[in-house]
Amino acid sequence: MILEVCIESAESATNAESGGANRVELCDNLMEGGTTPSSGMVALTLERVSIPVMMMIRPRGGDFLYTDLEYEIMLRDIKEAKRLGVHGVVFGLLTPDGRVDKERTARLVEDSRPLSVTFHRAFDM
């Protein structure tokens, strides 16, 4: 079993690791369900922990229906996640009828390679 802890700071990441977490999911704005953290926060977190860091790719809180512009931001954030050296990325996209957006998700997964990918809680909505 993997114990993953959602965190929004490097300090929380070190606390999670000290407490026995196997990996962390780094987000910003957890009150909104988690959004993409800053590059600086990701870099600092990676420097402070030895466990895998998963980076949230979510340009805003709210629903999981993204505009073309928001989708482009997600693609660029994945590129940045790879550059920073995270272990994996976390995202979720839906279509207006509440189904998984398979086409856009497939592109994000492809662009994420070789990182680990987790489909975020979009399907829980």
Q: Please, what is the end-to-end C-alpha distance for the chain in angstroms? A: 25
CA 125, CA 110: separation in Å to the nearest integer?
A: 24
Place of tokens 């989708």: 71
Q: What is the pLDDT of residue 125?
A: 53
pLDDT single digits (tens) 64-96: 999 999 999 999 999 999 999 999 999 999 999
* DSSP 8-state symbol, 66: -
- Global pTM value: 0.94
> SS3 for 96?
coil
Note whether 37 and 8 are within 8 A (CB): yes
Q: pLDDT value at position 123?
A: 64
| Residue 65 half-sphere exposure toward CB, CA atoms < 13 A | 7
Predicted confidence (pLDDT) at residue 18 exceeds the cutoff of 70:
yes
- Polymer length in residues for the chain: 125
Which DSSP symbol is given to 21? -
Quick check: helix, strand or coil at residue 114?
coil
Could you give the domains of the chain? 4-124 (3.20.20.380)
Q: Letter for the amino acid at 61?
A: G
Task: For residue 10, give both structure tokens.
Answer: 């490097």
